[in-house]
Amino acid sequence: MVKIFIDEKPVEAAEGLTIFKAAQNSGVAIPHFCYHPAFVPEGSCRLCLVEIEGSPKLELSCSTVVREGMKISTQSPTVREARRGVLEFLLAEHPLDCPICDKAGECKLQDFYQDYGLTESVFREFKEKREKKVRIGDKLILDRERCVLCTRCVRFLAEITKTSELGLFERGIRSEIGLYENEPVRNGYSGNLVDLCPVGAITDAEFRFRTRPWFLAKGESICPLCSRGCNIFIDYHPGFSRVPGSAKVYRIRPRTNEAVNGHWICDHGRYGFVEWQQKNRSEKLVWNSGNGTTQMSWSKVMIAIAERIKALRERKQSGRISIVLTTWLTNEELFLIKKIFKDGLGVKHLFFADPPPGTADGLLLRADRTPNRRGAQEMGFEPKPPDFAELSKDTEILFIFGPHLAGSAGDRAWKSALEKIPVKILVTSHLNELASAADFVLPAAFIAEKSGTLTNEDGRIQRIEAIARACADVRPEAQILLDLAREIHLDDAYFKALSGPGSIFRALGKDIRFFEAKP
Amino acid sequence: MSREFAPALKKRIEDIASRYPTPQAALLPVLHLVQRDTGFLSAEEERAVASLLGLAPIKVREVVTFYTMFTRKPLGRFHLQVCSNLSCSLAGGESLLKHLQAKLGIKPGETTPDGKFTLTEVECLGACEQAPCLMINFDYYGKLDPDGIDRILNELK
Amino acid sequence: MTMDARILTKGFELEHLRRIGTYIDQGGYRAVKKALTEWKPEQVLEEVKKASLRGRGGAGFPAGVKWSFVPQKTDKPKYLCVNADEGEPGTFKDRYILSHNPHLLIEGIVIASYAVGIHLAYVYIRGEYELIARRLEEAIAEAAAKSLLGKKILGTAFGLDVFVHRGAGAYICGEETGLLESLEGKRGNPRLKPPFPASVGLFQSPTVINNVETLANIPLIVLNGAAWFLAQGLPKDGGTRIFSVSGAVNRPGIYELPLGTSLRSIIFEHAGGLKPGRTLKAVIPGGMSSPVLLPDEIDLKMDCDSVAAAGSMLGSAGIIVIDDGTPILDVLAKVAKFYAHESCGQCTPCRLGTSWIHKIVKRMAAGKGRAEDVDTLIRLSANIKGRTLCPLGDAAAMPVLAIARKFKGELERAMKGNA
C-alpha cells in the first residue's frame, strides 16, 4: 500500500493502482470518456487530466500509477481549466441534437458539461457535416456527428468479441468510425456498444424515440435466458399505481459483476428478455369448463383446485398427481413444490420441460438456456424430460409450470398425453397451444415481476427483485403455491410462517445445506 | 472479391514480410508495392493484401485511409503534387498552383478528363531550398516558374 | 569569413561519394573498424555521452543518454530505428545526407548498434523520398557485400541487418512513437509515455530512435574523439548543425556551421540576406513548430539552450525567413493548415483544436475575421499546449501562440473593417 493525497485528503492505495482507480476507490469521481475498466488505458480523450505536485504538466489519471507521497489535485484551477477546454473542443463540433437524441438524460457529455463545463459557445465556424443514421448492426444506428472518438466501440469489438467489425478511418478532424464494406456488427454482443458509447453516437434502434431515461426507473435482476445468470438492470416505466399492469419494461442493461458476466450481456439475453417480458403474456385467469371458458376469481379457482386435490388425498391417491416443472422457476418456487408435492403429497411423477439447449458462444451465453437447473439439482430434483406414457397412464391431475412443454417434445406427444388426463392445471407466464389444452390457466409472473433467487451454473445464488406488479390477475408462482398449500391445509403451521421469498429462502437454507449461504 | 496477385508480386511481398518479426509490419511497404502495380487500392487489393499478411481487411483500410500517399481512387498517369507549405508559398508556390489549375482546367483533387494529370496540394516535401517545388509521381522538381513547369509537362508522355 | 566548419557535409560535392568505393577512398568506414575492433560497446557509448551529441531531429535530447536507457540485460531483441521522416516544414538536411553520403549514415548506424547491442535496424524514411530510399538500399547492399553489414561485420562477432522502410505521407510518423506504430504496420497514432521506447518500443522491445544527422555524427566522434567534437561546438552542445535555410533569402540551402553560430550571420552572411528592397519581418528558427522570432531577436546563438532561453527552440534547425512582403496572416494560414492536416486525430485537443484554429484562420484570410478572433486563437492554443497525448499538440500550438502574440497588432488591424 502507498500513501497518497487526493485533494489534500490522505488516501491509502494499493501499489500499482492508477490515480483514477485510487480516486474512484476513495469516492472521488474523475470525468472521462475513453477510459473503461474492461480495457487498457487509452489516454486520448484527455478529460481525466489531474495536477500532480512537482510535475510541470498535467498528467492522465487513467494511466499514471500512484507513488508514495504523491500529491494529486483533481479540483485545482488548472485542472478545471483543462476540463473546460476539452469539453469546449468536443462541443465545438458536436451537433445540437439533445432534443432528439436518445442519450439525453444519460449522456456523459451532458453530465460532464453540467459538472465541469458550462462554457459559452464561441464557435463561429461551420460544423463538420457527417452521416447521422448509419445502420451498423441489426439494432444499431451510428450518428457520426455525435461521435467523440473515444474508440470504446472499436476496442470492444477488437478485444472482447474479437470480431473487429468497426474500424477507425481517415485522419485528424476527418477521423470516423465505420464498417468494412457494410459488413454489419453481428456477433451476439452488439447491444453492449450502446451501453459503452458515452454519447448518442451509437444508439439502439429498438429504443429509438420511444421514451426518455428520466421517465424510467431501474431495478436489479438476473437474466433468465441461460444458466450463466448475467446480472442486469431492468429499465422500466413504473406505470401508474391505479392501473395495475401498466408498468412497462423498455430495456435491460448489464450490471457489472466481475465473477459472473464482467461488464457485458449477450444480445440473446438483452433483446430476448424484453421480448419475453412483453409478448404473449398470460394475463387472465381461465377455467376451460365444458361449455366454453369462464373467467373466475383466484379464490374460486384455488378452491376448485384444492377440492380436486383433497378428493384424491381422501382416497389415498395423491400419487396420481403429476407435475411438469421448469428450471425457469426460482429456488423458492422449486422449494415450495418440493415441500407441497414431493414431501407433502408424495407425488412421484415429476418431470421438467425446458427450452431446448442451444450452442454456447464461448463468451457468456451458455448452451443451457435455463436459469436454475443447478438450483433444481441441488434441491434433489432430477431434471428429466416427461415420459408421456408414464405421464398419461397414472395421472388424475396434472400441474404444468411454464409454457415450455409445448415446445419441448419434438413430436406432438404432449397433446395426446394431455387428452388422457382428466384435470390439467397450467401455471404459466406465457400463452401458447398449451393454454387451450388445459382446464385451468393460471397467469404467472415473469422474472421482472418476481422476487427470489436463482442458482447459476457455477452454484452462485443470485437475487432477483420484483420491479413492478404485472396486471391484476398475474401472480408469482410462489404466491400461487402458498395459497394452494393453505387451501389444502397441508401443515398449516409450517406454511403460515412462509410469508414471502425471504422467509421461504431461510426455510430452504434450513432444509438443504447448499442453500445455507446468503445470496 | 479479392485480387489474385501475380507470382512475381507475391514473391516480392513475401520477401518484404520476411524482414519483420510480424507480418503486419510489412503493410506499408506492401501497400506501396501493390499501389505501384494497380494504381490504386480498392477493396479487392485490400482483401488480397490482408489475406497475404494474415490481417483483417478492415485493418488494411484503416491504414490506407490514414496515410496521404495511399489512394483508394485511380489517379492520372502523372500525379502533380504541389507543395502548399510555407517556404514554397513564400517563393510563389500559390501562383504556381493557380497556373496549373488554369492550364489543366482542374482544381486540386481532380484529374484531367483524358486521365493524364491529377493535381493535388501536399505539405512540405523537404526540398524548401528549391522552392517552389512539386513532385510528379516520385520525381522532385524545384525552382519552378510557369514556363519551367510548362516545359516539364510538355515532355511528359 | 569563417573557417570551414564542415565535418559532416565534407565531400558532398563529390558526385560519387554515395558509392562505397569513393566513400572508402575518402576515409570512410575507418570509424567502424576502430569501434568494433578496438573499443568495447560501453566505451563507444561513453564517448558519445562525453561528446554531448544532442538529437538533431527536433527534441535535442542527448543521444548517449538516450542509448544508456536501454537495459543492458534483456531477453528481448533490441532495435534501432533511424528517423528519416524529415517532415518538419523548412527542414531538408537529412535529404542531403541520405542522397549524398548514405554510407556516413550506415557507418553511424553500425557503430550505434554496436554500442547498444542492437542487431536489427530499420531506416524509416518518408514515403516521398522514394528515389533516395532506393539509393540508400543500394548503399546498404554495397556495405553488406563488403562485410560491413550482415552476420560477422569485418570478421568480428558483431552482426547487424539494416532494412529501409518507407513511410506514406504522415508528419506524425516523425514523432518517435508514431514512427514505431507506423513501422509496425498500423496507423501512426503516437503512444502514451511511459513506458518509453528504450524499454518498450518496436514490437514491445527496447528500441533506440535517432535522427539521421544524429547518427551521421557518430563516426566522426569515434574517429576524432569527444573532445574534438565538443570543440567544434559548445561544451553542452557538441559538434555542428546543418542548418536548412529557406524562404525570403537569396541563397536558400544547407549550411553546416558550429553550434552557437549567430542566427543573424546565418541569414545575412551565409544565406546571402534578403531580396533587394526587402526588410526582415520574422524568422522561424527551428522548423515550423518553433515559435517565430522578431527582427530584434535574431542576435541569437543557434544552440539548443540559447534558443530555448529566447522562448523558442532549435528543433530541426530549419530556418524560414519571412520578409515584409508577406502578410503575417498568410504565414499563420500555412501554419494552421499544416497542423490541421497532419493531426492524427487521436486526442481531443489536437484533433478538434487544430481544426478549429484552421477554420478561424481561413475565415480571417477570407476577409471575414473579427478582432476577437486573435484572442480566441491564443486561448485555444493555450488549451492545446501541454494537454495532448504527443508533442504535435505543442508543435501546433506554439507557432500560433507566437504569431498571435507577437503580431497581434498586424492581425487585429487586418480584421478591422470586416463586418
3-state secondary structure of A363: coil
Contact A170 B58 (CB under 8 A): no
Q: How confident is the model at residue C1, as a pLDDT?
A: 36
Edge-to-edge strands of the sheet including C120-125? C161-166, C120-125, C79-84, C207-211
pLDDT at B118: 97
Which among A356, A418, A426, A343 is positioned nearest to A385, based on CA atoms? A356
CB contact under 8 A, A44 and C347: yes
CB-nearest to C165 from B29, B90, B130 is B29
Q: Which amino acid is at A459?
A: G
- Distance, in Å, from the CA atom of C146 to the CA atom of A116, rounded to the nearest integer, reads 65
- Of the given ranges (A264-278, A313-327, C16-30, C401-415), which has the lowest mean pLDDT? A313-327
Instruction: Based on DSSP, count helices (H) and strands (E) in chain A, helices before strands.
Output: 16, 22
Residues from A contacting B (CB-CB < 8 Å) are: 164-171, 180-181
Residue with cell 529566447: C310
The percentage of chain C sitting over the pLDDT mark of 90, rounded to a whole number, equals 95
Fold observed for domain C20-232: Rossmann fold (3.40.50)
What angle separates helix B7-17 from helix B27-38, to the nearest 10 degrees? 160
CB pairs < 8 Å spanning A and C: 88
pTM given for the model: 0.95
Q: Contact A83/A47 with Cβ under 8 angstroms? A: yes
Contact between chains at C252 and B129 (C-beta distance less than 8 A): yes
Contact C351 A126 (CB under 8 A): no
Residue ranges of alpha helices (H) inside A217-289 are 267-278
pLDDT at C2: 45
Helices (H) and strands (E) in chain B, counts: 7, 4
Nearest residue on chain A to C372, judged by CA atoms? A122
Please tell me which chains touch B, using 3 or more CB pairs under 8 Å as the contact test: A, C
What are the boundaries of each domain within chain C? 20-232, 240-323, 328-415
Chain A residue closest to C364 (CA)?
Answer: A125
Q: Say yes or no for a CB contact (<8 Å) between A167 and B66.
A: no
Name every chain B residue with its beta carbon within 8 A of the beta carbon of C343.
Answer: none
User: Average pLDDT in the C295-302 region?
Assistant: 97
Beta strands per DSSP E along chain B: 78-83, 117-122, 134-136, 139-141
Record: contact C345-A175, CB cut-off 8 A: yes
Look at A293-297, A478-482, C65-69 and tell me which has the smallest mean pLDDT.
Answer: A293-297
Identity of the residue in A165, A166, A169 whose CB atom sits nearest the CB atom of B65: A169
Confidence of residue B1 (pLDDT cuts 50, 70, 90): low
Q: Out of C340, C347, C356, whose CB is closest to A46?
A: C347
How confident is the model over C194-240, as pLDDT tens digits?
999 999 999 999 999 999 999 999 999 999 999 999 999 999 999 99
β-bridge partners, A321: A397
Distance CA A181, CA A454 (A): 43
Q: Which residues of A touch B66 (CB under 8 A)?
A: 169-171
Pick from C126, C129, C322: which is nearest to B90 by CB? C322
CB contact C337 to A (< 8 Å) = no
Residue C371: the pLDDT is: 85
Residue of A nearest to C192 (CA): A43
Q: Which fold has domain C240-323?
A: Ubiquitin-like (UB roll) (3.10.20)
Q: What is the pLDDT of residue B144?
A: 95
Written as one string, the DSSP assignment of A152-216 is HHHHHHHHTS-----EEES-GGG-EEE-BTTB-B-SS-TTHHHHH-SSTTEEETTTTTT--GGG-
Beta bridge partners of C206: none
- What is the dotted CATH code of the domain comprising C328-415? 1.20.1440.230
Q: Which residue of B has its CA nearest to C185?
A: B25
Question: Does the distance separating the beta carbons of C184 and B31 come in below 8 Å?
Answer: no
> Tell me, what's the pLDDT at A408?
60
Low-confidence winner among A7-21, A196-210, A382-396, B83-97 (lowest mean pLDDT): A382-396
Size of interface B-C (CB pairs under 8 A): 142
Q: Mean pLDDT of all residues in chain A? A: 93
Which pLDDT tens digit goes with each residue over A178-227? 999 999 999 999 999 999 999 999 999 999 999 999 999 999 999 999 99
Cβ distance of A167 and B61 shorter than 8 Å? yes
Considering only A164-178, A231-245, B113-127, C300-314, which range has the smallest mean pLDDT? Answer: A231-245
Q: Please report the domains of chain A, with CATH numbers, ordered by start residue.
A: 2-75 (3.10.20.740), 92-204 (3.30.70.20), 286-515 (3.40.50.740)
Query: Does A63 touch chain C if contact means CB atoms closer than 8 Å?
Result: yes
- Strand-strand pairing, A176-178 and A167-169: antiparallel
pLDDT at A411 over 80: no
Are B25 and C184 within 8 A, CB to CB?
yes
- Rounded to a whole number of angstroms, the distance between the first and last alpha carbons of chain C is 54
Contacts of A167 in chain C (CB under 8 A): none
CB contact under 8 A, B67 and C203: no
> What are the grid coordinates assigned to C391, written together?
508533442
Q: Closest chain A residue to B1 measured between Cα atoms?
A: A181
